[in-house]
Amino acid sequence: MKVPFSWLKDYAEIDITAQELQDKLFSCGFEVEELTYLGKDVTNVVTGRITKTEKHPDADRRTVCRVDCGAHGAKQICTAATNVFEGAIVPVALDGSTVLHEGGVQKIKTGKLRGVTSEGMFCSGEELGISDDFYAGAEVNGILILDDDTPIGVDIRPVVGIDDYIFDIAVTANRPDCQSVFGMAREVAAILKKPLKTPATDYIAHPTDVKISVTVKEPTLCPRYIGHYVADVRIGTSPRWMRRRLALCGLRSVSDVVDITNFVLLELGQPMHAFDRNYLQGGIVVRRAKEGEKIVTLDEKEFTLTPENLLICDEKKGVALAGVMGGLNSEIKPDTAAVFFEAAKFARDSVRKTSRALGQRSDSSARFEKGIDAYTCAFAMDRALHLVQELGCGKPTTWRVDVNAESMVPRIVKTTYKKIDDLLGICVPHAEMCAILTRLGFEVTATEEGMTVTVPLWRDDVDGYPDLAEEIIRSYGYEHTVPTFLSAATVTGGGLTHAQKTEAKAKNVIRWQGYLEACNYSFYSPKDFDLLRLPADAPERRAVRILNPIGEDLSVMRTILAPSMIANVVRNVRRGNDEGALFELANVYLPKELPLTELPEERKHLVLVRWGGGDFFDVKGAVEALADAFDVRLSYEKGEKPFLHPGITAIVKCGEKEVGWIGELHPAIAGELALEKRVVLAELDYAALERKFAKDITYHALPKFPAVVRDLAVVVDEGVTCAQMEACIVKSCKAAKKAELFDVYRGIRLGADKKSMAFHITFVPEEKAITPELADTYFKKIVDGLNKNLGAELR
């Protein structure tokens, strides 16, 4: 939020520099994201009076001027401007000055133009960085002509209103009362311990026979609505001080009546709207829009509405989108003769939903989304009517309608000094507590043990004594706090927990396999389940839905990580990254029942994806590397998943328990996503695997005798898997420590549905060397075991 330094000074006595105020605001919880001096690029530019003009002797389109620059002496300036004349007071950029030029900064030096010396340059409004809202005539095509009573030889910056600082303040979500200049002035006055000057709100109400009714059909969405009738309106131009303040905050002047509503928005944080009374048919009705109802807003955009949108209507039509923007059909025009002012409080969620659904944002919607209190509605209306009277652009009447469903009784918070001290961990002087709260607008009744605090109606964020403690400490100073242990705390060695160390090790193992870690949102679209072709009763579809999602694409909590990884692959491929490998270790959210009666189970899953280069066995290798690192034995069985290739899918097991799957993305899904290269995924139940990870690793001495390797080739049925063969080999002989498949052969000689599988078998001796005779014995045991259990025949 932009706050001009000069505007703050209207309400608070500020006797420190802008830089010092920036530090003080930060110390009490308001971050100044940027402090900008408006005149930083305009230097050594002064006012001067043109005393003589004559044609350039060698350039028809240039004029040579003599200029009186006061204490800076007389100067000669050559100019091509056509609007200069003797007696005119103009901005003069002297030798060595800087001005704005084509988005940058230009340095001005004395030089010669066609043989005539020019000791500087006259400036236009553009070169000073100003518009007509700063100074009349700034936008003309020529030199800026200053008022006749402008002093000579003075710095131009105060004259045109750029000798000012702009604070860009980040207002936190819990302080909507500070999203205005006056709201920040309250804080500044409290920080500096200075009195606060409240904007004038007095006005004379003129009798009227006009009565405009207001009906609020949705009080939960519009808790307060104030309307006030203003007669004898004369649309004109706002005074320079008002136009300048609007310009300092980034708004252009429109007309005096419209400018008043914008001024009050910036000054008090209350969005207002002015309806042309002649275009209102009957009274005002605040209701939900009808399905398909249309409205054209002030920016000439047409929107089709739903009952989710709150609409301000007359008896015939919609005249404004509540909290977002007024309607074009009731805008203020040059011939407007009567106005109906609106100041209201709209529910923040209602405005946010309408703004997002329609893609229509405004300064008003930004304020309403953060929250507007009911008290400020009346304050802002009175302020607007005072300005109407001050500017002479209309006559406030006696007709006001105030429909209010909000309680206007201030909250009372009773607390003891001890509670606040205990919460802060320090002892704040009791008198200082009361003084701080009083400066912030609270009414405090102090007793010996504590205080009774009346919360201002504009502070919806204060509910109890913890909020009071926060107000006290941010003004008293966080530097007073003393670091202490909690009462039940003990000194620990710190460091990572066993689970964190295990997780870090698992990630490192996967990284060593060439994978990069991805981090995705914990939610995605329900359409992702359709993409995976999951059946309607699939357990993955039992997902927790977000009550107020950012959008449909992020509306359900993840029950499986694969869709996020597939989306990552699509995003990479579309950006020209045709191959890669990613992994993610994150929670899935598994509800016990829907709708929720308790929090869902948060269970860690590990997902890997490789696309472009590599195949099924590369991903399987990464999974096996993880298992080896934690001394876990996994087995694999042929499996089926609706989103995986029917012939390249395996179920991963740990013992008898299924702990995941590996497979290639189904070709039909890959085609739908325009993925031309192979995509292989694996997803493991990390939580189940973690329980199998070896907690303590034991070490054994290396064998004294060399291992013996024998090759074995057997014929088995086509349905026998490598995993079954390896398990049977190791089980058949205690000395067989490892079996590695190195060849698979299919041929007519073997018979139908038969295949030959060849293995390297490693025998490791324990107590004595393995002789050829002993190796033969081991070999026979394995052949017999394979024949008995899997029907294998030695080739």
The pLDDT tens digits for 690-749 are: 888 766 667 777 888 888 899 999 999 988 888 888 889 988 888 888 889 999 998 888
The DSSP bridge pattern shows strands 635-638 and 644-654 to be antiparallel
**Is 154 strand, coil or helix?**
coil
- Name the E strands within 352-439: 395-404, 412-416
Q: Predicted confidence band at 487 (pLDDT cuts at 50, 70, 90)?
A: confident
Average pLDDT over residues 438-443: 94
- Which among 474, 398, 454, 600 has a CA at the least distance from the CA of 172? 474
Q: Predicted confidence band at 303 (pLDDT cuts at 50, 70, 90)?
A: very high
Structure tokens at 577: 């990254």
One-letter amino acid at 517 equals E
- Name the E strands within 22-135: 31-37, 43-56, 59-68, 74-79, 89-101, 104-107, 111-113, 116-118, 120-122
DSSP 515: P
Helix axes 772-790, 722-732, angle to 10 degrees: 130
DSSP 132: T
pLDDT of residue 549: 86
Average pLDDT over residues 187-196: 94
Average pLDDT over residues 241-257: 94
pLDDT of residue 697: 65
pLDDT of residue 445: 95
Least confidently predicted of 73-87, 286-300, 593-607, 739-753? 739-753
Total residue length of the chain:
795
**Is 241 strand, coil or helix?**
helix
Q: How far apart are CA 15 and CA 10, in angstroms?
A: 12
Bridge partners (DSSP) listed for residue 206: 397
Rg from Cα positions in the chain: 39
pLDDT of residue 211: 94
Bridge partners (DSSP) listed for residue 601: 590
